[in-house]
Chain A
Amino acid sequence: MIEIRIHGRGGQGNVVAAYLLAAAAFEEGRYVQAFPNFGAERRGAPVTAFVRISDSPIRRRCQVLEPAYLIVQDDALLHLPDITAGLQAGGPLLVNSNRDSAELAARLDRTVVALPASALAQEILGRPVPNTALLSAFLELTGLLPRAALIKALGERFHGAVLDNNRQLVERAAAQVSAGAWQEDEHAVRA
Chain B
Amino acid sequence: MQYALEGSQALARTVALCRPQVIAAYPITPQTHIVENLSKLIADGALECELVSVESEFSAASVVLGAVAAGARAYTASSSQGILLMSEVLYNIAGLRLPLVMTCANRAVSAPLSIWNDQQDSMAVRDAGWIQLYCATNQEAVDTTIQAYQIAEQTELPVMVCVDGFTLTHTLEVLDIPDQEQVDRFLPPFNFERGLDPSNPISIGTLVSPDYFTEARYDHHRALNNAQQAIVATAAAWGTVCGRHQDALLGVDGPQEARFGILTLGSIAGTLLDAREQYQGSPATRLLTLRAFRPFPADAIREACGGLTDLVVLERALSPGSGGIVGNEVRAALSEMHDAPRVHNFTVGLGGRDVPLDIYPRIHEAVRAGSGIPFDILDLEPHKLPAAG
Pair A26/B354 contact, Cβ less than 8 Å: no
Count of chain A residues near B, Cβ 8 A: 22
Q: How far is the CB of B101 from chain A (nearest CB, A)?
A: 24
* Contacts known (A22-B4, A60-B357); A35 close to B274, Cβ less than 8 A: no
Partner of B268 from the list A15, A31, A34, A61 (CB cut-off 8 Å) is A61
Pair A62/B171 contact, Cβ less than 8 Å: no
B75 at the interface (CB under 8 A from A): no
Q: How far is the CB of B117 from chain A (nearest CB, A)?
A: 8
CB-defined interface of B103-117 with A at 8 Å, one 1/0 digit per residue?
000000000000110
Which residues, 38 to 95 on B, are CB-close (under 8 Å) to A? none
Which residues, 31 to 59 on A, are CB-close (under 8 Å) to B? 31-36, 38, 40, 57-59
- Alpha-carbon distance A52/B144, docked complex (angstroms): 25
* Contacts known (A36-B170, A38-B170); A59 close to B271, Cβ less than 8 A: yes
- Alpha-carbon distance A131/B60, docked complex (angstroms): 38
* Contacts known (A59-B270, A63-B356); A38 close to B171, Cβ less than 8 A: no
* Contacts known (A32-B173, A34-B171, A35-B171); A62 close to B271, Cβ less than 8 A: yes
Pair A23/B357 contact, Cβ less than 8 Å: no
A182 at the interface (CB under 8 A from B): no
Pair B171/A60 contact, Cβ less than 8 Å: no
- Alpha-carbon distance A62/B268, docked complex (angstroms): 8
Pair A38/B271 contact, Cβ less than 8 Å: no
B273 at the interface (CB under 8 A from A): yes
B174 at the interface (CB under 8 A from A): yes
Q: How far is the CB of A34 from chain B (nearest CB, A)?
A: 4
- Alpha-carbon distance A31/B246, docked complex (angstroms): 21
A19 at the interface (CB under 8 A from B): yes
Which residues, 171 to 203 on B, are CB-close (under 8 Å) to A? 171-174
- Alpha-carbon distance A19/B271, docked complex (angstroms): 21
* Contacts known (A62-B271, A62-B357, A65-B356); A38 close to B174, Cβ less than 8 A: no
- Alpha-carbon distance A57/B4, docked complex (angstroms): 12
Which residues, 217 to 271 on B, are CB-close (under 8 Å) to A? 267-268, 270-271
Q: How far is the CB of B378 from chain A (nearest CB, A)?
A: 14
Q: How far is the CB of B253 from chain A (nearest CB, A)?
A: 11
B158 at the interface (CB under 8 A from A): no
* Contacts known (A26-B4, A38-B115); A60 close to B271, Cβ less than 8 A: yes
- Alpha-carbon distance A38/B115, docked complex (angstroms): 9
Partner of B166 from the list A18, A33, A38 (CB cut-off 8 Å) is A38
Pair B270/A60 contact, Cβ less than 8 Å: yes
B310 at the interface (CB under 8 A from A): no
Q: How far is the CB of A122 from chain B (nearest CB, A)?
A: 27
B352 at the interface (CB under 8 A from A): yes
Taking CB atoms, residues of chain A closer than 8 Å to B121 are none
Q: How far is the CB of B276 from chain A (nearest CB, A)?
A: 10
Taking CB atoms, residues of chain B closer than 8 Å to A33 are 171-173
Tally of contacts, chain A with chain B, CB under 8 A: 66
Closest B residue to A62 using CB positions: B356
CB-defined interface of A9-38 with B at 8 Å, one 1/0 digit per residue?
000000100110011001000011111101
Pair A19/B268 contact, Cβ less than 8 Å: no
- Alpha-carbon distance A99/B286, docked complex (angstroms): 53
Taking CB atoms, residues of chain B closer than 8 Å to A65 are 356
* Residue of A15, A36, A59 most packed against chain B (CB within 10 A): A59
Pair A61/B4 contact, Cβ less than 8 Å: no
Closest B residue to A22 using CB positions: B172
Closest A residue to B354 using CB positions: A63
Q: How far is the CB of B314 from chain A (nearest CB, A)?
A: 13
Taking CB atoms, residues of chain A closer than 8 Å to B356 are 62-63, 65
B355 at the interface (CB under 8 A from A): yes
- Alpha-carbon distance A6/B355, docked complex (angstroms): 20
Taking CB atoms, residues of chain A closer than 8 Å to B3 are 26
* Contacts known (A22-B4, A35-B166); A58 close to B173, Cβ less than 8 A: yes
- Alpha-carbon distance A60/B358, docked complex (angstroms): 12
* Contacts known (A38-B115, A65-B356); A26 close to B174, Cβ less than 8 A: yes
B122 at the interface (CB under 8 A from A): no
B132 at the interface (CB under 8 A from A): no
- Alpha-carbon distance A63/B171, docked complex (angstroms): 11
Pair A23/B4 contact, Cβ less than 8 Å: yes
Closest A residue to B3 using CB positions: A26
Taking CB atoms, residues of chain B closer than 8 Å to A58 are 173
Taking CB atoms, residues of chain A closer than 8 Å to B271 are 59-62
Closest A residue to B138 using CB positions: A33
Q: How far is the CB of B260 from chain A (nearest CB, A)?
A: 20
Known: A23-B172, A33-B173, A57-B174. 4 other contacts (CB 8 A): A15-B170, A23-B4, A35-B167, A59-B273
Q: Sample 20 A-B pairs with CB under 8 A, ordered by A number.
A: A18-B172, A22-B172, A23-B172, A32-B172, A33-B173, A34-B171, A34-B172, A35-B172, A36-B166, A38-B166, A38-B352, A57-B174, A59-B270, A59-B271, A60-B275, A61-B267, A61-B268, A61-B270, A63-B354, A65-B356
Chain B interfacial positions (CB closer than 8 Å to A): 3-4, 6, 115-116, 164, 166-168, 170-174, 267-268, 270-271, 273-275, 352, 354-357
